[in-house]
């Protein structure tokens, strides 16, 4: 259950929240969009509207004062410290939400976000309870609910901290983004963050065929099944 929900909710963030809703790196059917919104919501990383608008702002204002996870303020700030700091004037960032607000599914998920989070914690409890009573329910809840959420949260945080502080910059030095193959192993391919910052709308983060990027593989498989289309590539890297 831990592994299944780690993969399901993790890909909801990387393929759904990140490459689909933030960067529009491919198109897909409404059912795929809905699945991504449910999976990403269960990761307890806020609604897609909030997550993606913060992320668009990160790319637009990278390393500047308005970058929500500004790595210039150090590891802990960019990893998770920023979460505990409220914007003084949040309305000034509403422009990053404009396009997202036009998607009724994104708005539905935003309005039902808490229910989706609770479902993501209750689901492992119910499965565990049916399998082995209260002990099964509680252990499944703690492992596949609480611990899984903690690990997926930190894997996402690694992108904002490690991938802006340590690693190579083979694709460009215009901001602090870095490539880390190791982080890719934990984050479904998102560790190739320097490539991603230089080619934001590319559906791949690890563009070489041998780069470990399960998110691009899922998008590619969806396209072969007729569930996704218009996969964007910004560089000629194969
Ligand atoms: Zn991005
Ligand atoms: Zn970044």
208-212 mean pLDDT: 94
Tell me the CA–centroid distance for residue 135 and ligand 2, in Å: 41
Tell me the CA–centroid distance for residue 159 and ligand 1, in Å: 10
H-only helix segments in 66-112: 75-79, 98-101, 104-111
Tell me the CA–centroid distance for residue 32 and ligand 1, in Å: 20
Greatest alpha-carbon pair distance for the chain in Å reads 55
> What value does the mean pLDDT of the chain take?
94
Tell me the CA–centroid distance for residue 223 and ligand 1, in Å: 21
The model's pLDDT over 17-65, given as tens digits with 9 standing for 90+, comes to: 999 999 999 999 999 999 999 999 999 999 999 999 999 999 999 999 8
The model's pLDDT over 169-183, given as tens digits with 9 standing for 90+, comes to: 999 999 999 999 999
Chain centroid to CA 218: 14
Tell me the CA–centroid distance for residue 50 and ligand 2, in Å: 16
Tell me the CA–centroid distance for residue 62 and ligand 2, in Å: 7
Residue 80 neighbours by CB under 8 Å, 6+ apart: 153, 157
Per-residue pLDDT at 4 exceeds 80: yes
Tell me the CA–centroid distance for residue 163 and ligand 1, in Å: 12
Q: How confident is the model at residue 208 (pLDDT cuts 50, 70, 90)?
A: very high
pLDDT given at position 45: 95
Query: Quick one: which ligand is closest to 180's CA?
Result: 2
Tell me the CA–centroid distance for residue 137 and ligand 1, in Å: 36
Query: Quick one: which ligand is closest to 202's CA?
Result: 1
Query: Quick one: which ligand is closest to 157's CA?
Result: 2
139-160 mean pLDDT: 95
Per-residue pLDDT at 221 exceeds 80: yes
Q: How confident is the model at residue 86 (pLDDT cuts 50, 70, 90)?
A: confident
pLDDT given at position 40: 97
Tell me the CA–centroid distance for residue 66 and ligand 2, in Å: 13
pLDDT given at position 93: 87
Per-residue pLDDT at 218 exceeds 70: yes
Phi, then psi, of 178 in degrees rounded to 5: -140, 155
Tell me the CA–centroid distance for residue 192 and ligand 1, in Å: 11
Predicted TM-score (pTM) of this structure: 0.94
Tell me the CA–centroid distance for residue 196 and ligand 2, in Å: 8
Phi, then psi, of 38 in degrees rounded to 5: -70, -45
Tell me the CA–centroid distance for residue 42 and ligand 2, in Å: 22
The model's pLDDT over 110-130, given as tens digits with 9 standing for 90+, comes to: 999 999 999 999 999 999 999
Residue 164: other Cβ atoms inside 10 A: 26
11, 215 in Cβ contact below 8 A?
Answer: yes
pLDDT given at position 92: 84
């Amino acid at each position: 259950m831990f592994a299944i929900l780690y993969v399901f909710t993790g890909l909801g963030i990387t393929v759904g929240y990140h490459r689909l809703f933030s960067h529009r790196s491919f198109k897909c059917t409404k059912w795929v969009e809905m699945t991504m919104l449910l999976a990403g919501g269960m990761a307890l990383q806020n609604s897609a509207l909030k997550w993606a608008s913060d992320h668009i702002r990160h790319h637009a204002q990278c390393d500047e004062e308005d970058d929500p996870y500004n790595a210039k303020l150090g590891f802990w700030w960019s990893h998770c410290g920023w979460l505990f700091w409220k914007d003084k004037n949040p309305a000034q960032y509403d422009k990053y939400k404009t396009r997202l607000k036009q998607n009724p599914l994104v708005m539905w998920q935003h309005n039902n976000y808490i229910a989706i989070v609770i479902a993501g914690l209750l689901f492992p409890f119910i499965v565990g309870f049916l399998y082995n009573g209260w002990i099964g329910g509680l252990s499944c809840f703690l492992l596949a609910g609480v611990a899984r959420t903690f690990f997926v949260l930190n894997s996402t945080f690694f992108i904002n901290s490690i991938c802006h502080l340590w690693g190579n910059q083979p694709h460009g030095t215009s901001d602090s983004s870095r490539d880390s193959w190791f982080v890719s192993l934990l984050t479904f391919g998102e560790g190739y963050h320097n490539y991603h910052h230089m080619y934001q709308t590319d559906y791949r983060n690890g563009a070489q065929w041998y780069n470990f990027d399960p998110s691009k593989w899922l998008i590619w498989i969806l396209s072969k099944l007729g569930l996704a289309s218009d996969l964007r590539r910004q560089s000629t890297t194969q």
